[in-house]
Chains A and B, each alone.
Chain A
Amino acid sequence: MKKGGILFALVALFSFILAGGVNAAEPIVLGVPTALGSIEGKDGWMAVQMAVEEINAKGGVLVGGKRRPLKAYSIDTREHEPGIPVHDALTAVEKLILEKKPHAIVLGAFRSEILLASMDLIAKYKLPYICSIAMTPVFQKKILQNYDQYKYMFRNCLNAVYLVKYLGQVMGFIGKEFGFNRAYLIVQDTLWAKATGKGLQKWYEKNGWQLMGFDAYPLGATDFSSSLIKVRAKKAQVMVPIFDMPQSGILLKQARSMKVPALLCGFISPVAPGNAWQVFEGEVEGMVNFLFEIGPIPVKAVPKSVAFNRNFGKRWGEEARIRLSGHGPGPAYDAVYIMADAIERAGSLDPDAIVKALEKTDMMGVVGRIRFAKDHQAVYGLDPKEAAIGCAFQWKKPGVRVPVFPEIVAEGKIELPPYMKK
């Protein structure tokens, strides 16, 4: 009785200490508020989960002498839908912050409009934030204008300015190779697409190309025939679509069925994944599409991208690997590693310390070398040893995505599609 009591107390004390020891490894919480209904958001979330599992398998993140596991929570903001429900998305982000109390946010907003609208919210809660999908350059301007308030936000994916640089180089190549100089821009009526269009317009003016038209379609549009009629009538040789909505596939279908004799070169979200050849029954042949960041296509010069591609297939299955979207999964995966690395270098979870550590980031990731410029945008370029890279590929028979740009990853050259060869 008394002995039993002492024994019981000792056991209780022991288990308490043990439990206390286990409790000390409190997880570091990562929040992922994004459009889980879009392919970019869905694949990005899967990439984040994969990264979290990998880091935890190696023991977790070292913070102030203790190893702590990572835990990621997502919430669907539905921001990819037409009529972008900003109020609802902001409420969802705030719910994630108040309920799960994340220490940092990765993957971030899908729509630039939501990204900008949530900057004040993030500043209020002082959360380090790495955005991996939304692309508007206005984001960087705001950070520079009001550094103290918005310094917590970073972006490690491609942005519209870099996309214009890439597009410009591809256009230059096309102009030299085929002698083309008449283009037609068809963009989506959202911030990033219009910014890209305007930037490209300036490039065309500087480089002697004629821009035959510049049309913008709202989210959810399903009929592009008015632009296609004009492309034919004005004899444009290159059509540049910039879309991330699933309906943009209709543009491709209509262009083929109206037999528009122009080379398609740009970004149509449903044409980027590997299964687009079957989905479109071969009609994608000849289109030059961009992958904003590598990863969905493994690039031999960047071993981490090869590993990412392979592991994604092992973790989520071959189907999922083939369908990896052209924008988002690579940077999403990297964002987790960047955040973990910054926390370890900062040695604490204090947001200001993490921000300082993030600014000094210099590591190799799936997308190449990751460094942030003063305006908290990751630097993209042409050489993965110096900067992060995206790539452009062309669909060729029998259903292969052949990378054609930049030099370091190219496995082939841009060719004219069969319907343009007379």
Chain B
Amino acid sequence: MIASIIVYGLVNSVILALIAIGFSLTFGISGVANFAYGGFYLFSGYLTWMLLKYLGLPFGLAIPVAILATGLLGFLTYWVILLRVRGIVLSEVIATFALGVGMLEFFRWKGFVTYEFTLPYFVKGVVEIAGVPLDYQRLIIIGIGLVLVLFLYLFTHHTRIGLSFRGIAQNERTAISLGIESDWTAALSLALGSALAAVAAIAILPLGIISINVGYDVLLIAVAVGIIGGLESAAGILVGSLILGYAQVITGMYLAPEWTMVVYLAAIVVVLAIKPSGLFGKFKELEERV
């Protein structure tokens, strides 16, 4: 049983990390609120499903199309909505949150709620690790998750664009004076974050069904991982998701499955009350409390 806990805990943690990456990129690293994250996540899932079912596209083609479409949606969201309220963080939060809720409820209204909404696995098959059966899909997820976290770190620390993301979050005026176009950079970060949401969705959704609840949960997970680990650090995402993932699996096994949701809600509250910037967060400390 211990082996099962370790393996499934790892799978759960990487899933959480994969979900949180896109959100951290926009909100943590670039300082652009994107609380419509759950909506984008589901949007990419439904889009892929519709491409597969109604247009009959092969899986290999549907995936890039969905990722690009979601990225484009994020890009447009910036220019249409966020541009006019840039800088007023609370208005950004409310506007994008409303967008997310609107998208999710729109899908619910369209009737995308029954069991037929599933995405196919990439590869079918099961492999045994230390006596614990693990399907290939979950292995692939672990792989993708770790690769993306690494990518996030390298991107934001060693490429010009990544560094400019961090620049506009630290001090927008200075960034502009250095020639970084703030609006384009923010839009790009939103697009990239949404595309990462799409990658996460396509990898993770085959494990279950595409249901509206997942949209709300995804936002909570992203916020939880971000807050516990520290919104702007890649290492924080990994550590935060490991803590949450294992806490969930262990409570599920030893306490009762109903407590798993309470775990990460309580974690957010506790961390916010004690150390709002999280484990690895640094530079927001001055702004977050009086």
Chain A: residues with CB nearer than 8 A to chain B? 37, 39, 82, 189, 215-218, 220-227, 229-230, 232-233, 246-247, 249-250, 253-254, 257-259, 270, 279
Contact = CB atoms under 8 A, between A and B. Distances in A.
B256 A215 contact: yes
A189 B217 CA distance: 18
Contact of B209 (A189, A215, A217, A250): A250
B114 A218 contact: no
Contact of A226 (B118, B207, B253): B253
Nearest to B5: A229
Given A246-B113, A258-B133, A215 B257 contact: yes
Contacts of A215: 256-257
B1 interface: yes
B249 interface: yes
Given A37-B113, A246-B209, A257-B135, A229 B258 contact: no
Interface in B152-188: none
Nearest to A279: B116
Contacts of B114: 39, 246, 270
14 contacts: A37-B111, A189-B258, A218-B261, A220-B213, A223-B208, A223-B260, A226-B249, A227-B252, A229-B4, A230-B253, A232-B4, A233-B1, A257-B126, A270-B114
B214 interface: yes
Given A246-B113, A257-B135, A222 B213 contact: yes
Nearest to B128: A259
Contacts, number: 81
B253 A246 contact: no
B212 to A, nearest CB: 8
B139 to A, nearest CB: 12
Given A227-B257, A249-B115, A220 B1 contact: no
Interface in B68-121: 108, 111, 113-116, 118
Among A189, A223, A247, A259, find the residue whose CB has the most chain B CB atoms closer than 10 A: A223
Nearest to A186: B257
B256 A259 contact: no
Given A216-B256, A225-B8, A258-B133, A250 B208 contact: yes
B244 to A, nearest CB: 13
B115 A279 contact: yes
A226 B258 CA distance: 11
A213 to B, nearest CB: 10
Nearest to A83: B213
B211 interface: yes
Nearest to A37: B113
A222 B213 CA distance: 9
B1 A218 contact: no
A373 B218 CA distance: 47
B6 to A, nearest CB: 11
Nearest to A260: B133
Given A222-B211, A229-B253, A246-B114, 14 more contacts: A37-B111, A215-B257, A216-B257, A217-B258, A221-B257, A222-B213, A223-B260, A225-B252, A227-B257, A229-B5, A233-B1, A233-B4, A254-B207, A270-B115
Nearest to B7: A229
Among B4, B207, B211, B257, find the residue whose CB has the most chain A CB atoms closer than 10 A: B257
Contacts of A37: 108, 111, 113
B221 to A, nearest CB: 12
Contacts of A230: 1, 253
B115 A246 contact: yes
A259 B4 contact: no
B1 A82 contact: no
Contacts of A220: 211, 213, 217
Nearest to B120: A281
Contacts of B257: 215-217, 221, 224, 226-227
Contact of A247 (B209, B252, B256, B258): B209
B133 A247 contact: no
Contacts of A270: 114-115
Nearest to B253: A226
A218 B135 CA distance: 25
A111 to B, nearest CB: 15
Nearest to A189: B258
A229 B3 CA distance: 10
Contacts of B207: 250, 253-254
A266 to B, nearest CB: 16
Given A246-B115, A259-B133, A253 B208 contact: yes
A217 B208 CA distance: 15
Contact of A222 (B8, B208, B249, B253): B208
Given A246-B114, A246-B115, A258-B133, A226 B208 contact: no
Interface pairs A-B: 5 shortest CB-CB = A226-B252, A270-B115, A220-B213, A250-B208, A249-B115
Interface in B1-53: 1, 4-5, 8, 12
Interface string B111-152: 101111010000000100000010101000000000000000
Nearest to A252: B115
B262 to A, nearest CB: 10
Contacts of A226: 8, 249, 252-253, 257, 260
A124 to B, nearest CB: 31
Contacts of A216: 256-258
A148 to B, nearest CB: 38
Contacts of B133: 257-259
A206 B274 CA distance: 51
Contacts of A39: 114
Contacts of B213: 82, 220, 222, 247
